[in-house]
Structures are given as structure tokens and as C-alpha cells.
Amino acid sequence: MANSITITTKSLDETRALGKKIGQRLKGSELFAMMAELGGGKTSFTQGLAEGLSVVSRVTSPTFVLEKIYTKKPGDKPALYHYDLYRLGESEVADLDLWENIGHAPMVIEWSEKIEKDLPQDAIRVKISTQSETKRTFVFEFNDDQKYLFN
């Protein structure tokens, strides 16, 4: 990765607002590889991304269903793919449609460290560290052609 930027949020609302700001800039095929501990802010950031994409459905963590596909309105093509690999081993990831869906709409993969070696070169790595109950530090690693997300 050629570039990185660090952004700190001080509340859940700020975390969602950060996601929304980036979501409004998406071109449609970005992959966000999210890495954080439980309760680290991955889903809150994704809720903001979805809002920025004008997704109308309520965004929740796909921890138990593994995959959620969000649209702007019922019957539309996917506007956001959301995966959670927390409960999966590396070999079980192959059973998901994850790889087939890359590039068709923005994608968020929570617990992406489980498949780090298989992630595409242009995946935007998002490392979130918890500073306090509400404060989070986001480190985004991205390629030159993805700078538009952070200007």
C-alpha cells in the first residue's frame, strides 16, 4: 500500500459520519478489509458507508448469517456487500459468494485478517483501534488511485 491516513473519532456518531462521508465518495467497486477487536466500530463504520450510499435498510452485523446484501430500494441491484468472517475458519470462506461478488458493488469484510493473504491488492485496509469506550482510531491503507476517498 502506498498511502495511509489516520483518523480518530470520538463517538459512535462520528464513526458513522466518517463512514457516510467516505460512502458518498464511493465509485462502486471498493473493498474495505476491516480489522478490529469485538466492539471496535466495524459495523458502525459500515452503517455510515451504507448511509452514504443511500441504502435504506437497517445495517446490522452479519455475524450469524455471514453475509448481508443491501440495496437502495427493494428489487435494486446490490449497493453494498457486507461479510463477517468472525465465526469462520479460512477453509469455510470458500463457501461464501465473497470472491464472486468483488467488483460488483462496494464490499466490507469484517475480520478480514483471516483472509489477508487472499485479499486483492487494491483492498482498502482499515485497522481500527479502541482508545476508550467511544474513541476509535482508524488507519486506512490504500493505493494512489483511491485517494479520492480521503480528500
DSSP state of 65: T
Which one of 3.30.43.10, 2.40.30.30, 3.40.50.300, 3.90.1150.10 gives the CATH number of domain 3-138?
3.40.50.300
pLDDT digits (tens, 9 = 90+) for 4-41: 999 999 999 999 999 999 999 999 899 999 999 888 89
CA distance 105 to 147: 18
Which residues fall within 8 angstroms of residue 92, CB to CB, at 6 or more apart?
none
pLDDT digits (tens, 9 = 90+) for 86-128: 877 666 766 666 788 888 899 999 999 888 888 899 999 999 9
Residues 19, 22, 23, 26, Cα dihedral to 10° = -150
Cell of 103: 467488483
